[in-house]
């Protein structure tokens, strides 16, 4: 599994955050708490890093993932009823632009944490379990 150990640590940190803060808050609050928890656990966390997107050599804009952990995994905290194809497509866009292989969508809406692993299409030839619920 791509970044299996690291993704497990990120999910464990998210569970800790949700257990402490409980559901019902704004996703930016969970994002900030995730940064604190992941740094406390010894991980490096980049927040809102900007990645330029070009077309035919011209800058057309920037993509800004919420969090990147250990320069390896994109983490996108959400407070949503359920993950949608739009959420997954956004993660694939981030993965393609950053050349990273794994993104984690993490949903803090309910008392039970939900998450989904999203692989960059070129990386998806490796066996992986695409999503879990705890």
Whole-prediction pTM: 0.87
Residue 125: pLDDT band by 50, 70, 90 thresholds?
Answer: low
pLDDT, tens digit (0-9, with 9 covering 90-100), for 33-50: 999 999 999 999 999 999
Closest CA to 8 of 115, 110, 126, 120: 115
Averaged pLDDT for residues 54-62? 95
Domain regions of the chain by residue span: 4-121
**Cα–Cα–Cα angle for 51, 54, 60, rounded to 5 degrees:** 90
- Written as six digits, the tokens of 88 are 């997954």
CATH number belonging to domain 4-121:
3.40.1350
């Amino acid at each position: 599994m791509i970044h299996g150990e690291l993704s497990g640590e990120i999910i464990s940190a998210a569970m800790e955050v949700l257990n402490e803060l409980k559901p019902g808050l704004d996703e930016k609050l969970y994002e900030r708490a995730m940064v604190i928890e992941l740094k406390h656990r010894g991980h490096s966390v980049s927040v809102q890093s900007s990645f330029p997107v070009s077309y035919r050599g011209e800058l057309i804009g920037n993509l800004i993932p919420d969090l990147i952990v250990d320069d390896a995994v994109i983490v996108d905290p959400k407070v949503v009823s359920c993950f949608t194809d739009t959420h997954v497509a956004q993660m694939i866009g981030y993965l393609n632009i950053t050349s990273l292989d794994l993104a984690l969508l993490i949903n803090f809406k309910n008392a039970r944490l939900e998450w989904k692993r999203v692989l960059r299409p070129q990386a998806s030839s490796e066996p992986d379990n695409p999503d879990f619920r705890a």
